[in-house]
Structure 1
Amino acid sequence: MKTVPFTRQEMIDCIEGRPTRRPAVAIGTWIHLDQLSEDKQRRLEKLYADYPFDMEAFYIKKPATFGQPGDRFCWCDVKDADPHIGRTKSVGVDEESAISWEVYDQITPELPDPAGVDLFEGWPEDDGRYRMAWLSYGPWSRIWEYRGMTNSLMDLYT
């Protein structure tokens, strides 16, 4: 190992502009080694051994966009609301298959609990490094999933 990863506090200090050891970029990655050639995998594994990540990055389990009525861990539990059901191509939601406002109004007001244990399944062991949780999907992505791009833009406009 050519360099020792920052501790949690050193990483916080670096983020806040007070580096204590080395003026460096925080190292972390989401590269899926299994999707690279064996040669690239070996080179990256050596790089990671020499320069370990300064932070532990991991995904939070995200709620499903669509589910069945009564599902606790989904955003929309309206029967047959999923516009992907029956589609033969893997494409984004468009205005032809997006859910209507009538369906949208049926979505349960009981959203997934952000403090629920479901979100934290599979967290890595705490090893003293800075931990950064990653949750894809924000409010824009959610409405796009429901309404499609054209409808979403028009909804915002109107």
Structure 2
Amino acid sequence: MTKVLLSVHVLVAILAIGPIAVAASLFPRHVRAAGEPGGRRVAAFLHRTCRAYTVAGLAVPVFGVATGARLGVLTDAWLLASVALTAGAAALLALAILPGQRRLLAGAGTDDELHVRAESARLAMLTGTFNLLWAVVVVLMIVRPGSTTGA
């Protein structure tokens, strides 16, 4: 059962978090091009992609905790750090990235190009931070400092 839980955890992480990372990273460029043909539609599609996969991504920590419980590692420092980083990434996505995308879409195509550029640059930085947090979580999951598996 542990192998099934771990497999689902990893698959959901790849299939849910990967698309968010890509779509959120592409969004700032496309929202800046909202005045060009199809630019706004692409930005809106990327935002919808981020929202939809965010819901699917909720399964990642659920299966992660279930796997950790089966392995008896819920109190290990590497797992606690991963949980904290995951919570930080989720908060960043829910409280800054998705609302920022929504605000930019609402103002896309306006005459205030300087504002759109500044906000999209801020959003690109937040998305980079989100992606970096996930990269650290992946490394922690692979390396597992202090684990007894020898990895």
TM range (shorter): under 0.3
What TM-score comes out, normalization by structure 2 length? 0.26
**Greater CA radius of gyration, 1 or 2?**
1
- Looking at secondary structure, tell me which structure has more strand per residue: 1
